[in-house]
Amino acid sequence: MAAIRNSLSPWHFAGLMARPSKACDRLAGPAPEVHDVILRVVLPLSIVPPVLAYVGGTTFGWRLGGGEPLYIPTGGLVLISLAYFVALVTGFVSTALVASWMAGTYGARREFGAHLAFVALVGMPAIVASLAHLAPHAFVNMLLLIPALIWSLYLLYRCLPAALGTSPERGMLMASSLVAYVLVAYVLVAFVSLLGITVVLWSGGIGPALGV
């Protein structure tokens, strides 16, 4: 158990991300404790993108195109960063809960710690791609996010059968079900987040002037 605990770190998961075969074998071992995964992996990973977004937003401002940078008020940027952090933690935990719930249907292992560690590995490319938040341009962020999402999908389909102990055929079906869940859930989160950001910007005097 001590060896498992020592392997739980963002740096370790970043290394596994670049070596899918080793990642599959490592995650197929004994399931780590849930609180260890949350404290050592999920929380450290979830705090990185909001901090980078805050630093980039306060230093350079956000650019949506070729115009002037958009500087969000500090209070609003703090709220957005906190919401970003909560959304990431919720996304990791909820996806692992859904995967654990699906496990019985697809003949996979049920330990929540194993599912949470697997979800953290799959989300690691997106966390790395969040370095683009330091240069907060919408096009640059999308340019880096798309390859990261493709790599996450590869890790999902490549490692799920071995990591969660099911057959390749059932693993593909389970991975596809998780993709469907993530797409629906994150589209809703993005929509709600956009509404919140719009309210913050308009409250700070940034937005269209509405005539009476």
Distance CA 201, CA 77 (A): 10
User: What is the per-residue pLDDT across 167-179, written as a single tens digit (0 to 9) for each?
Assistant: 999 999 999 999 8
pTM of structure: 0.80
The DSSP secondary-structure symbol of 130 reads G
Residues 200, 76 contacting (CB under 8 angstroms): yes
Give the list of residues 6+ apart from residue 144 with CB closer than 8 angstroms, or none. Answer: 129, 131, 132
CA distance 171 to 160: 6
Torsion of CA 168, 173, 177, 179, to 10 degrees: 60
pLDDT digits (tens, 9 = 90+) for 143-200: 888 888 899 899 899 989 988 989 999 999 999 999 888 877 666 655 555 555 565 5
